[in-house]
A and B are shown apart, each in its own frame.
Chain A
Amino acid sequence: MTDTATSGGAATGRPDASGRVTGLILVALPVAMVMTMIVWPIGLAILDTLWLPGPDGTGARFSVASYRFFFSDGYSLGNLWITIWTTAVSTAILMAIAIPLSIYLRFRTGRAAAVVQALAIFPLFVPSIILAYAFVRVLGPNGMVDIILANIGLPRIRSPYLTVWGPVIGFVWDNLPLTVVILLAGLSGVSTQAVEAARDVGAGRIATFRHIILPRIGPSILVAASFVVLGLFSAFTFPYLLGPAAPEMMGPFMQRTFGDVLDPVQARTQAVVTFLFCAAFGWFYVRSIAANRRRMAR
């Protein structure tokens, strides 16, 4: 951080003091918003889950009872587990599709590549609720896939609608554009000459990927994965519309506990647990950005 600031100041030739003031003014608004709309409510929520009324309903005191309930309740833990599972599986599938796709888009030119790129970016412009209903029409029972299979004499598949695979498929489709865009940005740092040189000395596709491409796009993969994980962990629309009734992912579970079970303390406890998981991934993301900056500045 320090060396980027000094080198930036020197390069533009601006006096450091005024640059610092402008910088502070620029960050003041977002920092104020983060403090009032994110940090403050989170603080309140954590306090609310630890400062509970006594058994007679009066006299608030420190208590970890709501966390003890969450971590001893098989149903809540099942919901936490399916959230972790869905996030991990979706991210893995997404990377397995997005990495080869972005490598293809980086090193191929021509009409076919342009079409593939347009298709890959397209989901960015489709709201997830529309996507969820389209999913039911296409992959749902008696949907388009079923009709096509029946017409060519193949047995019908078991629809992923209302199973744990429903949200996974939705997430992969919905998050593909952002992941591809981030990876493509990372791949632009891999020079074509480096790849060609490796090929000239006889490196195969796998070796080229492992030794030339992967080291350069590692940070981009981490950034893309962090974005996806953070989005999926608290996702609501896909698990709500496409997932099974139980186990529930944390998003619908929190909403139901708050709005239907009318148990705000437990809903906040679920939210704090979810937040801690997200915060851990957030820390990864920030660390990777910082490490990247340091490397660039060197």
Chain B
Amino acid sequence: MDRRSLMKLGLAGLAAPALMRPARAQGATLNMYTSSDANISDFWSNVVKPSFEAANPGVQINVVIAREGGGTQAIAERALAALQTGTGPLLDIIEQHDPNLPAGGIDAGLWVDWTKAGIANYGRVNPLAIQTNFGLPYRGSQVLLAFDTTKLGQDEAPRTWAELVDWIKANPGQFIYNRPDKGGSGGNFVRRAIHEANGRDPSLFTVANFDAAKAEGMLAGGFDILADLAPSLFDAGAYTSGNANSIQLLAQGAVTMIPAWSDQALQAINQGVLPETTGLVQLTDLPLAGGFSQSVVPTNAENLDMAIALADFLLTPEIQTAIVTGIGGFPGVSWSELPADLQERFAAVVPASIPTFPGGDWGAAVSDGWYRNVAPNVTRD
């Protein structure tokens, strides 16, 4: 990191709390990028944007949707290139992005270090949710199984991986998951199979320990499990092209069970997209993976101070409560920081731990390996 950016960072740390005052915030437009599903981009447009703009007159948030794999990756690469040439990245904050990408970004000083950014609410963040100093966890969710209780009773739903496999094979055509690169619900179902093949030990997979030769061996077991399941899936091995497409098939009654993001499923039930009779269940031997969205701010952001103020704003009780009640997500702050009635209401769904799976090279190896080993289904037609 060069001296100029270091100074900028230090100054930002000192100045951020003061900048919460509206007087300094004349005429800034914050470019916020997201690659999440519509439930999250809607949350930004309808909840975060108006309340932050009301608290900071003259400031506007420009919600930019860069959806589909690699959407924010290209933006992050542009920010890194801009950092190297000393120009602006036209980016102030990415709502959810793996700070380990692009490679070398952290070493080059691309992302703001939240432990040094001096934001008032950082101390309230759930320590379990912090993966790196450069990603600010502000919301979380986890993949679970959503099913039609009119066809499968809540008590009969599978509770372990082995029970789930037995159920899928005993009910051919009633389960579908999406392609792992097209949405996290199918992606984390695939990752759960990989965990299963590796002694249910998520700690074997870390951002730093990727090695192509070793990975091939570790992933192969998971792909075998999935290839074995394929003939019992919907249409003898079909895979939807996204989280929402799986929910559509469950809603149309075409399948009985799908993996789904907890927040997306709860919102779909609330909005009537999924019927009231939809059941949700989590595996007890090892839950399906999930994660906390990590917000990143580039150190060369055009409106660095205001972007850091926005990150701090995300951790306020107002926004954190809205994440729980509005989009069915987990708060980024510790549950004890939320209003007492809310803690009580959601006591049952608060997860003790959320297994995670690293992105970057691991993620690429999982999805490309899946396309080559699981998706081609020669017996299908």
Contact = CB atoms under 8 A, between A and B. Distances in A.
Given A245-B239, A246-B376, A256-B181, A261 B249 contact: no
A161 B87 CA distance: 47
B254 A140 contact: yes
Contacts of B181: 256, 260
Interface in B164-198: 179, 181
Contact of A241 (B234, B241, B252, B364): B241
A241 B181 CA distance: 14
Contact of A78 (B69, B252, B376): B376
Contact of A240 (B70, B241, B253): B241
Contacts of B375: 244-246
Nearest to A242: B241
B62 interface: no
Contacts of A142: 252-254
A142 B248 CA distance: 11
A159 interface: yes
Interface residues of B, number: 30
A141 B69 contact: no
B376 A261 contact: no
A75 interface: yes
Contact of B252 (A75, A141, A244, A255): A141
A162 B240 contact: yes
Contact of B69 (A75, A244, A256): A256
A260 B368 contact: yes
Given A141-B249, A163-B235, A245-B375, A260 B241 contact: no
Interface residues of A, number: 26
Contacts of B253: 142
A248 B376 CA distance: 10
A246 B181 CA distance: 13
A244 B238 contact: yes
B69 A260 contact: yes
A219 interface: no
A8 interface: no
Q: Is the interface of A mostly helix, strand, loop or mixed?
A: loop
Contacts of A136: 245, 248
B135 to A, nearest CB: 19
A261 B368 contact: yes
A54 B240 CA distance: 39
B190 to A, nearest CB: 12
Q: Which of A143, A246, A258 has the most CB of B within 10 A?
A: A246
B99 to A, nearest CB: 16
A262 interface: yes
A245 B364 contact: no
B267 interface: no
B154 interface: no
Interface of B: 68-71, 73-74, 179, 181, 234-235, 238-241, 245, 248-249, 252-254, 363-364, 367-368, 371-372, 375-377, 381
Given A141-B254, A260-B69, 7 more contacts: A159-B235, A162-B235, A162-B240, A244-B375, A246-B376, A260-B368, A261-B367
